[in-house]
Amino acid sequence: MSERIKMEAEVPAELDHERLDQVAARLFPDFSRSRLQVWIKKGELLVDGKQLRPRDKVAAGALLAIQAEPEQAVSWQPEDIDLDILYEDEHILVLNKPAGLVVHPAAGHADGTLVNALLAHAPQMAQLPRGGIVHRLDMETSGIMVAAKSLLAHHDLVAQLQARTVKRQYTAVCIGVMTGGGTVDEPIGRHPRQRKKMAVLAAGGKPAITHYRVIRRFGHHTCISVSLETGRTHQIRVHMAHRHYPLVGDPVYGGRPRIPKGASDELVTALRQFPRQALHAQALGLFHPESGEAMEFECPLPADMQQLLATLEREDPANEHDAALY
């Protein structure tokens, strides 16, 4: 029998007098709202020890407590897909996800995902919420991820993400030449008309904070290092496009490839044929869920981004750069 989920969270002041199901979704984001509503109706999610209805309002300071059976992933099948594992123990697994691999089964991607691969590698992860996934990377974003292998690790990693103590550093190549680094503090939500896209919203979006610094300027592009305080869907891609520096190879937020005037044939080919958004999750820092030890992991840039940077370097070799990056 699988271990029961036991979690608690106090309602913060900013959620005072909001609906219970909406508050629960904010406080326990690793579970779907529909799953939380089921637990509320079954009395497995209580407020100050009392059973309420999903639509009931809750007050700041109230204690939400879950004691429930974990959601089972009975429809997910293990698949023999290679994993580039950087670290593994009984609680966590850190890996380097290649571009093109979907993280989680969803509409249009019922199999062939990272979760399918993880279930083949560690079948016990099927007993965990979302198959052990605690954060995601877009399908075409490469780089480092951590997954939970135990319920203890899942609860702790989700709490670390909520507390913003997990350090996530990305490398990106943007269109345009930046004068310097900065911070984008703009809320992100579903695009009001194009529902498959996200957008910066004046009202109704969730808080999103992105910090970036310039690593290397080229003639018409900039390589940047990005760190996140929040983890909204498409956050880096949306925020950099909002600043008018969309990522190279991003058809959703950057449009068609932009070819600089006078570009060499090599650069034209590199920009037109780059197969994805130029974004790589390069480093991850966290506290081990059991020992509390601070841990840091890093994985190098993949070959496609190294080749892109090398082409930009040959096109504009005069500027100073950090050679250690690539």
Same domain as 283, residue 210? yes
Residue 2 has what pLDDT? 55
Q: Which stretches of the chain score pLDDT less than 50?
A: 1, 73-74, 322-326
For residues 129 and 192, membership in a common domain is answered with no
Q: How far separated are the first and last CA of the chain, in Å rounded? A: 49
Note the pTM of the prediction, 2 decimals: 0.77
Give the per-residue pLDDT at 325. 45
| Parent domain of 27 | 5-68
- The domain tally of the chain equals 3
Per-residue pLDDT, 35: 80
The whole-number pLDDT of residue 255 equals 85
CATH number at residue 298: 3.30.2350.10
C-beta neighbour count of 317 within 10 angstroms: 9
pLDDT of residue 152: 87
Tell me: do 130 and 272 sit in the same domain: no
Dump the DSSP string for 148-213. ESSHHHHHHHHHHHHHT-SEEEEEEEEES--SS-EEEE--EEE-SS-TTSEEE-SSSPBP-EEEEE
pLDDT one-digit tens code per residue, 5-40: 889 999 999 999 999 999 999 998 878 777 898 899
Residues noted as catalytic: 138
Same domain, 304 and 175: yes
Question: Residue 47's domain is classified under what CATH number?
Answer: 3.10.290.10
